[in-house]
Structures are given as structure tokens and as C-alpha cells.
Amino acid sequence: MTAIDWQRTILVLLPPDALERHLCSPVLDMLDEHGFTPVRYEVLWHRPPNQDAWQERNISSVWKAYFYRQVDLVFDLGPTLALLVEDRRADTAPGTGHKRLRALKGASDPAEAAPGTIRRDLRGINVMLDIVHTADTPEDSAHEATVFFGPDLGRPLTGGQSELRDVVALLEAGIPKETREYDDVLVGLRSKLVAAVWNELTAEGRKLAPGLVAEPRAGAGAELAALLPGGAAHPLAELLACEFLPGHPRPDLRRAAAQLAVYGLTLDRWEHVVLQTSTIFEPLRRS
């Protein structure tokens, strides 16, 4: 195998949330536009066995342990596409590609990412569901490539870029396109909760509830919960009132699933991971 020039080669991950939202092709388009060409790839169908090695710094010095476990939720959504891309811009010096790509992907928090970046233009959900990961330095790329590709460092693109686009098309064709952002998921949850208890509401409650559900503003959930018979004592009151944001009460979604089941309701995988991660990492809002 030809030796890899890590001064010009960068590790890129398109995690399960990118595939769920069918954003891999737009990301590849933005990479191509800025002179980054994929040269090797691998589809990871399960969490990488060396995942902890990838997040070693976050585990030891940045995140609390329960923060890190949110990574498991993301990888459980489905496959990940790992890439090695080369910086082929003739006007950039070796070693500067990592910095350029870091600027292109945008801040980890999509709400803080600048327009024109991947995470802002394609609207990442939050720090955990942020569409793309890239290694920050040549040393990080060399290390992370062994985590995600193993010693063989992935599959060379012998069929050219059309081969990679074909793989992406096949991956996305097998997954219904997910379009819901945080606000959509929150409104959807409150909508089905209110529908489930509709006959328990008073006439005045049925008049007020639709308007409160449609506007995912702070406090609307608590106002909806107050309409329930018994108020806070109602089995769905805590879930209906929850904002699913940092600094607010964080419900146990596993226990909530049992309460939902009584009413014939469920949380799908996307709802679960968006709400769970947004209780820790502030989500990008529509307003």
C-alpha cells in the first residue's frame, strides 16, 4: 500500500445521523467544492470496537461518563461512512488542509456554526448529532484512521468517485429520509400525547391544546400538562411538560416508554436520540 501523506490526508466521518437525514451527498458536494477528494472509504455497520480510543480525550478530560454514553446512542442508529480525503488544492501548503476542513465543517455546536459551514447550512441537531466529524490534526488523522479503518486503512476508491456515490445512494435508499429537527420532534411528541388524552380534556382544554402544541416555545409543555385532569399527578404530565433541554428536569425515557405503552404510544429511534441528546447538548432551534 502506498504510504499516506497525513499532511494532506484527513479522516472524515459521516455518522448515522447524516445517513438518516440523507445528507451524505450534500456533504460530499461541499467537500468537493472546497478541494477535498475522498480516496479511501469504509462502511461501519456497527459501533467501532475501538470507539473509546477515538473519544479518549473527551472521556478523560471533557465529558462526564454519562455524556460519553450519548455516543453509543448515535452509533446505534445505523451505519457510519468513514472516509480519508486528500486536500488537492494546489494553492494550500501541506498540513493546512486539516485547518481548512475544520473551518468548513463549522463549530461543534450547530447554533454557533457560521453560515457557509456544513453544520450550519445542513442544520446539525446538536453537538452529538452534528452531521460530520473530521480529525483536527495530521496526527489525529493517523490515529483515528486506525480506529475506524483498522490496519488496512479502508478500501481504495478504485472505481473513482462514482463508486462512492453509488455506495451512498444504496445506503440512503435503505433508510427513509429523516427530516425532523429538534422542534419537529418536540411538537410531534406533544401532539401524540395530547391526541392520546383528548377525551380526558375539558372542552376548554380541547380548545387551548392545539395552539399550545403547535408552538414549541418555552413553557408551552407545562401549560399543556396543566390542562390534564389531575395536573402534575397525571401519568403523562411529566413527559408533556418536559422541555428536553439542558438545565431542565431530565426524564428517564426508558420509564417514559412504559408509560407511553399504556396509551399505545412509542418513541421511535430518531425521537429517542434527538430528545435524549438534547437534554445534554443545546439543540439548534428554528427561531
Q: What percent of the chain has pLDDT over 70?
A: 91
pLDDT band at 62 (very low <50, low <70, confident <90, very high): low
Q: Is it the case that residue 274 has pLDDT exceeding 60?
A: yes
CA distance linking residue 173 with residue 168, whole number of Å:
8
pLDDT band at 59 (very low <50, low <70, confident <90, very high): very low
Q: What pTM did the predictor assign?
A: 0.89
Mean pLDDT of 263-271: 95
CA distance linking residue 83 with residue 32, whole number of Å:
13
Question: Helix/strand/coil (H, E, C) string of the chain?
Answer: CCCCCCCCEEEEEECHHHHHCCCHHHHHHHHHHCCEEEEEEEEECCCCCCHHHHCHHHHHHHCCHHHHHHHHHHHCCCCEEEEEEEECCCCCCCCCHHHHHHHHHCCCCHHHCCCCCHHHHCCCCCCCCCCCEECCCHHHHHHHHHHHHCCCCCEECCCCHHHHHHHHHHHHHCCCCCCCCHHHHHHHHHHHHHHHCHHHCCHHHHHHHHHHHHCCCCCHHHHHHHCCCCHHHCCCHHHHHCCCCCCCCCCCHHHHHHHHHHCCCCCCHHHHHHHHHHCCCCCCCCC
The residue among 152 and 214 whose pLDDT is bigger is 214
pLDDT band at 2 (very low <50, low <70, confident <90, very high): low
The residue among 105 and 71 whose pLDDT is bigger is 105
Give the pLDDT score at 6.
94
Q: Is it the case that residue 61 has pLDDT exceeding 70?
A: no
Of 68-72, 74-78, 87-91, the range with the highest mean pLDDT is 74-78
- The whole-chain average pLDDT of the chain stands at 90
What Å distances lie between residue 37 and 34, 196, 223, 275, CA to CA?
A: 9, 50, 51, 34
The residue among 265 and 149 whose pLDDT is bigger is 265
Give the pLDDT score at 55.
56
Mean pLDDT of 215-241: 93
Q: What is the per-residue pLDDT across 150-171, written as a single tens digit (0 to 9) for each?
A: 877 778 888 889 999 999 999 9
The residue among 169 and 72 whose pLDDT is bigger is 169
Mean pLDDT of 40-50: 82
Q: What is the per-residue pLDDT across 80-108, written as a single tens digit (0 to 9) for each?
A: 999 999 999 877 777 799 999 999 999 99
CA distance linking residue 225 with residue 236, whole number of Å:
8
